[in-house]
Structure 1
Amino acid sequence: MKITIPLLWSLFSLIYSCDQITNRTESTLPYLRKQGSATQLIVDGQPFLIRGGELGNSSFTSLEYMQPVWAKLNAMHLNTVLAPVFWELIEPAEGEFDFTLYDRLIKEARKHDLKLVLLWFGSWKNSMSSHAPAWVKKDQARFPRIKDDRGKSHEILTPFSENNLQADLKAFQALMKHIKAIDEEHHTIIMIQPENEIGMLPTARDYHLLANQKFREDVPAELIEYLRKNRKNLVPEFQEVWAKNGYRESGTWEEIFGKGLHTDEIFMAWYFAKYTNAIAAAGKASYPLPMYVNAALIRPGYQPGQYPSAGPLPHLMDIWKAAAPAIDFLAPDIYFKNIEYWCDLYTRQENPLFIPEHRFDNMAATKAAFVFGHYEAIGFSPFAIESTANPENEPLGKVYHLIAQMTPIITARQGQNKIDGVLFDKKNQATLLRFGDYEFTVRHSYTLGYEENAKNDEWETTGALIVQTGTDEFYLAGSGVVITFANVINPALNVGILKAEEGRFENSKWKVIRHLNGDQTHQGRHIRILHGDGFAIQRFELYNYE
C-alpha cells in the first residue's frame, strides 16, 4: 500500500489521541510530560535528565571500534548516548533490511546501563544525502536531487519528490517497527531524531522543476490558517517578514512574504518540514517514541544559502511547528560561545530545551550545569564524546556525577520557579536570582580575588545550578561561584547563613562530608565553591534577623 500524505495525517491524529491516553495511564513507554512551565522526558515512569554525549558520526558502525568506548562513557557518568543509524547500512538493497549490526550495538548499550537516542541519517545528514543507500544515489532519475540557480545538481535529495519521501519513509518505518520488536520491554531507546541538520545549500531554495512548480503555487491554506490563528504569538523575526507585506492571507510565496532570499528560505522550510513530518508520523505509527529535529546554527553575517538554510532554525520556528506537528520539539546544535543567545531563542513558544550537540571543549561542563538549571533542560550532549583521552578526570563527567545525584530533587521541582543556573566569565561576572523572599547575588569566584588566575586577562568559564528545596533550604552544585543574600520582601531584615554543608547524595539521601563555617563561608557572609576547589555540592539554610 502506498502511504500518502493525507493518510499520514490521519495516522498521526490517531497516534496523538492514543499517546494522550498512554500518558494518562502512565505507560512505561518513554514520553514527554508537562510539569508547571517545564517539559520532562519520562522514562520507565520517572523524569529523566539526559546526561548525554553524541558519538562521532562513524563510531557506532562497528562492535570492535565501540568496545573500548563503553567504559569511557561509564567513567564520565553518562546515562545516554546519541548514536546514528545509517540508512545505507540497514537497507543495502531496496526492500531488504538488515538490523544485525545495530541489534548487537543496542545490546552493548543495554549491558553498560546506557540509554540511546538514535539519530536517523536518512535523506539528510548535515544537509547532504551522504547516508542514502547506493541504490538511491545511483538512480537520479527516480530519486532526484536538488538543483541550484544555475541548474547544477548537488548531493541533496529534493524534498519535492514523492519517490524520495516514500523510500526514506519506508526505511524509517521499518526501523521503528524493529525497535519496537527488540526494545519495547527494555526502553533502551528513549528518543529519536529523524534526519540530521536539515538545510538547503548552496542556494537558498531548490530550483528543481518540481520545486519551481510549488514555488509558483499559492501558499498552502494550512500555513495561512496557522498564521491567522497565531498572529499575535509568532516569533518576532517571522512576524516582521509577514507584516512588511501587510499580513496578506492569500497569494504566492513572494506575494505574501515578498521577494528575496528570506522568502526562498521560508518556502524551503515548509517543504523540508512537511517531508520530515511525514517520516516522523509514519515512524510514530509503528512505535511512538518522542521525536525532535536538530539544526546547524547560523554563522554571523551569513545569508540564506551560505548556511544550511530552511532547517529548524529559531526564526523559522513557526513554519516548522505549522508543518510538522509530529515533531515534538526543535533542538539547537551549539558550537558557538554565546549559548545563552541561542537557548533563549529556542525556548520561545514553550519549546523545551535539549542540546543534542555541543562542542566538547573545556566549557562544556559548566554549560551543562547552567542549562539544566536556568533552562530546566531535558538534556545536554557534547559531540564526539568518545574523543577524550582521560575520561576519569573529564570535567563534564564530574558535573554529570553531581547531576546524577541531584536528579530526584531537580525533577521534583522543575517548572515551579525553584531552579536556576548561572554561567560566568570575565565579561559576565555576576547576576541576580530570585527565590521566594530571597535575592541571590551570584558572582564568579574570581571576583573575590582569592585565586591566582583572577589576575589573568581571560577568566575560565564557571557555572552552577541552584535548587530551592524549602523556604530557606537550598542546594548548590557546580564550581567557581560565590553567593550573597538579601530579603527583597523585607529589606530591613538581614539574611544570615544558618547552616552550610558540603556533601553528596547516596541512594537519594544527603550525606555530609564537611560542615562549612569560618573561612569557608567568610565568617557567615557568603556561600562559595572556588574554581580551584573543583566541582561540588553544598546544602545551605538561610535565616533572617533584625
Structure 2
Amino acid sequence: MIRTIAAVMALTMMMPTAPAAAEAPSLRRQGTATQLIVGGRPMLILGGELGNSSASSAAYMAPHWAKLKAMHLNTVLAPVAWELIEPREGVFDWSSVDALVRDARAHDLKLVILWFGAWKNSMSTYVPSWVKRDQTRFPRAQLADGRGVGILSAFAPDTLAADQRAYAALLGHLRAIDERQNTVVMVQVENEIGMLPVARDHGPLAEAAFRQPVPVELISYLTAHRATLVPGMQRLWIERGAKTSGSWEDLFGRGDAAAEVFTAWHYARFADQLTAAGKARYALPMYVNVALNRPGRAPGEYPSGGPLPHLIDVWKAGAPTIDFIAPDIYFPNFVDLVGRYKRPDNPLFIPEANNADNPAGPANAFYAIGAHDAIGYSPFSIESIDDAPGALGAAYDVLTQLTPSILAAQGLGRIAGFKPAELYDGTVLYEPQTRDLGGYRFTIAYADIQRPTLAPTTAAAGGMIIQIAPEEFLVAGQGITVTFAPIGDGPSQAGLDSVWEGAFDAAGTWRPARLLNGDQTHQGRHVSLPTGRWQIQRVKLYRYD
C-alpha cells in the first residue's frame, strides 16, 4: 500500500499541470500617472478602433489583421454587439467573440472590447430583436408629448437586468477563454451614452423619478468636492446657493439644466450597475466614452447627460465602479479637450480621435502620451486606411521604439509632450511653447528658426522630450525646432554635447545613425526635426558660462 501511494505521488509530479491564470489586466499608479498593467508589466496602447460593423464578420476582418499589425498597432478596439451574442433571450452565441479573440491573438494584437449593449451613440440599435419588439418590458424613452424615441429608457428595471445578464455573461466568457493569455485588456461600457433629441426622458418611470428629491449620494459628493468641482457644475450648483436638499430644479435650475443633470445621474447609475455586474465575473479595467458637445448647442442637440466636461462630477458621483471616462475627440481643439479629462481621479485614454487618416492624428498621439501620460491613443475606422503603414504607422513605429522610455518616465516629471494648439474653428496657435525638464527649459518652435515661415503642415507637427539620464534626452517628433537654456543655479548657458539621429531596435537597443552637427544643428544652437518624417534624436546637453 505504501508503494502504491508513492507511485501515485511520483506519477502526479510528472504529469503536466495546467498553467496558472495570469494576473488580470489592471490599473496602477506611477507617480502622478496611471498605467495599464498587462502580464505584470505596464503597457502603452497604440491602438485603432474598428468601424462599427467590421468586427461582426470574421471573413470581413480576415484581410485587415496583417495590415493593422504592419501599421505598428499593438491593440485593436473592437465592438461586440448584444444582438449577436444573445439572439434569443438566455441563449448565447460566442462565435463572433471567439473569432475576434482568436484572430487578434494570431497577429499578436491586444483587444479592447466595446460593449454595444443598451446604447450605442445614444440609440438602441444593437439590442436583440426580442428587446426591440417588447416595449412593455423594455420601454422606450419618450418625448414630452408621449411619443417614443429609438432609445431604451434607463429607468426600466428589466432593461438593466437584461443588459447586466448579457454583459456579465460576456465577461465570464472572456475570462474562460482568455484569462491566461490576456488578449483582452480593457472593456468599454456601452458607447457614447446620452439622450436625444431632448434633455431628458419624459416616460412614466422617468417622470416619477424626476419628482423625487435629488439623491443624497449626489449631494454628498458635491459637498465633499465643492472646492474642485468643474466650472460648469459650480455654475449650476454653487451659484444657485449650493443647496443640500430639494428637487432637481431647486438645486440646478429650471429647464434643460436640471433635466440634464437628472439624465446624467441616472445614466451614470445604470452604467455603474452594469460595470459592477461585469467586474463580478472578470475584473478588467472598464471605462465609459463620451460624445462631446459642440459649442452653443443645447442638451438633446448633443447627447444629453453623457459624461461631458461639465457633467464629470455627476458621473464620478454616480458611477464609482467605472475606472475612468474617456473622450472621443473629433474637434480640432484637441489640446483643450484632453486637458479636461486628465484629472487626479481620471487617467487619460483616447478611444476615438478623428478618422485614422486625419493628418493631425500622429501629433495628437504624441501630445496625449507625452503631455498627459495617456494610457493610450486610438483613431477611428482604423481598417479603412489603404496605404498602410502610412503617416500613422510611421508615428506608431517611433512610439513603439520609445515605449520603454515613455513608460519609465510617466508620472515622474521626466517626459513632456507638445503640439500647436488649435481653436474649435481650426485656427492654429503656432507660437513657441516652453517645457521644463531635467534642469533645462526647452523652447519648441513650429517654424524654421532661420526661415520663420509657417509650414502648411503645422497642424501635423508635434513631439515629445524624455529625460533618460542627467543632461541626456530623447527628442522625438516632426516639424519642430528645439532650443534650450539652463534653469536653477549654475552656469547660465547650455550647449549641445552631442546629437545623434538613430532608432531603437526590436530588443530596445539604441542604434545610432548620423552624428548631427553643423547645418543640422544650426552650428550647435538647436535641435531640428523637420516636417515629413517622424524620428528620434538622442541629445546630450552641457552647461557653460
TM-score category, normalised to shorter length: over 0.9
User: Alpha carbons of 1:286 and 1:455: their partners in 2 closer, same or farther (altered >3 Å)?
Assistant: closer
Q: Deviations over 1:273-307 (max 9, x none)?
A: 00011010000000000000000000121011110
Q: State the 1:399 CA deviation.
A: 1.1
Structure 2 letter corresponding to 1:432: T
CA shift for structure 1 position 427: 2.7
Show the counterpart of 1:106. 101
Does structure 1 conserve the Cα–Cα contact (< 8 Å) formed by 2:328 and 2:350? yes
- Counterpart of 1:535 in structure 2 is 534
1:28 to partner: Cα distance: 2.3
Letter in 2 for 1:441: T
Which residue does the alignment assign to 2:354?
359
Tell me which amino acid in the other structure corresponds to 2:451.
Answer: G
Amino acid at match of 1:231: R
Shift of 1:362: 1.0
1:76 Cα deviation after fit: 0.6
CA distance in 2, matches of 1:517, 1:475: 16
For 2:538 and 2:521, how far apart are their aligned partners in 1?
A: 12
| Pairing 1:115-134 to 2, within 5 Å after superposition | 115-134=110-129
Task: Write the letter of the residue equivalent to 1:383.
Answer: F
Q: Which runs of 5+ in 2 are unaligned?
A: 1-20, 422-427
1:150 and 1:102 map into 2 onto residues whose CA distance is 41
**Structure 1 residue 275 corresponds to structure 2 residue 270:** yes
Cross-structure match for 1:144: 139
Write the deviation string for residues 377-415 of structure 1: whole angstroms up to 9, x where unpaired: 0010000001111112x1111111111111111111110
- 1:33 and 1:41 in contact (8 A); partners too: yes
Instruction: Please state whether the residue corresponding to 1:354 is helix, strand or coil.
Output: coil
CA distance in 1 between counterparts of 2:384 and 2:464 reads 26
Counterpart amino acid of 1:151? G
Match of 1:341 among 332, 336, 344: 336
CA contact (8 A) 2:22 2:179 kept: no
The match for 1:323 is 318
2:86: which partner in 1?
A: 91
Other structure's SS at 1:382 match: coil
Greater displacement, 245-254 / 438-447: 438-447
Residue 445 of structure 2 is aligned to residue 443 of structure 1: yes
Aligned equivalent of 2:222, options 221, 224, 227? 227
Equivalent-residue separation in structure 2 for 1:279 and 1:458 (angstroms): 44
Distance 1:176 1:520, change over 3 A: same
Distance 1:290 1:455 in 2: 42
Output the CA distance in 1 between the equivalents of 2:502 and 2:458. Answer: 27
How far, CA to CA, are the matches of 2:344 and 2:295 in structure 1? 24
Give the match for residue 513 of structure 1. Answer: 513
SS in 2 for 1:503: strand
Alignment-mate amino acid for residue 436 of structure 1: G
The Cα offsets for residues 232-290 of structure 1, whole Å up to 9 and x where unpaired, read as: 12112102211122110011111111212111000000000000110100000000000
Q: Secondary structure at the match of 1:195?
A: coil
Q: In structure 2, what is the equivalent of residue 433 of structure 1?
A: 435
Structure 1 residue aligned with 2:181: 186
Establish whether residue 398 from structure 1 lines up as the match of residue 385 from structure 2. Answer: no
Q: How does 1:393-542 map to 2 (within 5 A)?
A: 394-424=390-420, 427-449=429-451, 454=453, 459-490=458-489, 493-506=492-505, 507-532=507-532, 534-542=533-541
**1:502–1:515 contact (8 Å) kept in structure 2:** yes
Greater CA deviation, 226-235 or 206-215? Answer: 226-235
The Cα shift of 1:167 comes to 0.7
Q: Do residues 37 (structure 1) and 32 (structure 2) align? A: yes
Q: Which moved more, 1:520-529 or 1:116-125?
A: 520-529
The answer to whether the aligner puts 1:381 opposite 2:378 as a matched pair is: yes
**Separation of aligned partners in 2, 1:479 and 1:457:** 13
Change (3 A) 1:45 1:458: closer
Aligned to 1:369: 366
For residues 124-183 of structure 1, give each alpha carbon's deviation from its aligned partner in whole angstroms, at most 9, with x where no partner exists: 000000000000000101100000122110110000000110011100000000000000
Structure 1 gaps of 5+ residues are 1-25
CA distance in 2, matches of 1:523, 1:28: 52
Which of 421-430 and 271-280 deviates more? 421-430
State the Cα distance separating 1:491 from its structure 2 match: 7.8
**2:7 alignment counterpart:** none
Task: State the alpha-carbon separation in 1 of the partners of residues 146 and 450 from structure 2.
Answer: 62
CA contact (8 A) 1:429 1:447 kept: no
Answer whether contact 2:361 2:460 (CA < 8 A) is retained: no
Task: Decide which moves more: 408-417 or 437-446.
Answer: 437-446
Query: Counterparts of 2:470 and 2:315 in 1: how far apart (Å)?
Result: 41
2:231 to 214, 233, 236: 236
Structure having the higher Rg: 2
Contact 2:446/2:458 (CA < 8 Å) preserved in 1? no
Give the match's secondary structure for 1:500: strand
Which of 242, 245, 268 in structure 2 is aligned with 1:247?
242
SS in 2 for 1:214: helix
Shift of 1:448: 3.7
CA distance in structure 1 between the partners assigned to 2:327 and 2:202 by the alignment: 27
Q: Is the 8 A contact 2:22 2:181 kept in 1?
A: no
Provide the aligned C-alpha RMSD in A: 1.5
Match of 1:467, as an amino acid? I
What letter matches 1:391 in structure 2?
A
Instruction: Give the secondary-structure state (helix, strand or coil) at the position aligned to 1:284.
Output: helix
Q: Give runs of aligned pairs for residues 167-316 of structure 1, distance below 5 A.
A: 167-316=162-311
* Cα offsets for 1:189-230 (capped at 9, x unmatched): 000001000000010000001001010101111111112211
Amino acid at match of 2:508: S
Q: Indicate the SS of the match to 2:499.
A: strand
> 1:445 Cα shift?
3.8
Is it true that 1:28 corresponds to 2:27 in the alignment? no
- 1:59-95 per-position Cα deviation (integer Å, ceiling 9, x unaligned): 0011110011101101110000000000000000000
The verdict on how the C-alpha distance between 1:105 and 1:457 changes in structure 2, with shifts beyond 3 A counting, is closer
Q: Check the 8 A contact 2:237/2:251 in 1, yes or no.
A: yes
Q: Distance in 2 between matches of 1:251 and 1:437?
A: 53
Larger displacement relative to structure 2 (57-66 or 424-433): 424-433
CA distance in 1, matches of 2:178, 2:471: 44
- Determine if the alignment matches structure 1 residue 64 to structure 2 residue 59: yes
Work out whether residues 445 and 530 of structure 1, in 8 Å CA contact, stay in contact via their aligned partners in 2: no
Aligned residues: 516
Contact 1:445 1:529 in 2 (8 A): no
| Residue pair 2:475, 2:537 contacting (<8 A) in 1 also | yes
Tell me the distance in 1 between the aligned counterparts of 2:286 and 2:458.
Answer: 38
The residue type paired with residue 200 of structure 1 is M
Counterpart of 2:220 in 1: which secondary structure?
Answer: helix
Q: Give the percent of matched residue pairs that are identical in Structure 1 and Structure 2.
A: 50
- SS of the residue corresponding to residue 249 of structure 1 reads coil
- Cα deviation for residue 42 of structure 1 reads 0.5
CA distance, structure 2, for counterparts of residue 260 and residue 91 of structure 1 = 39
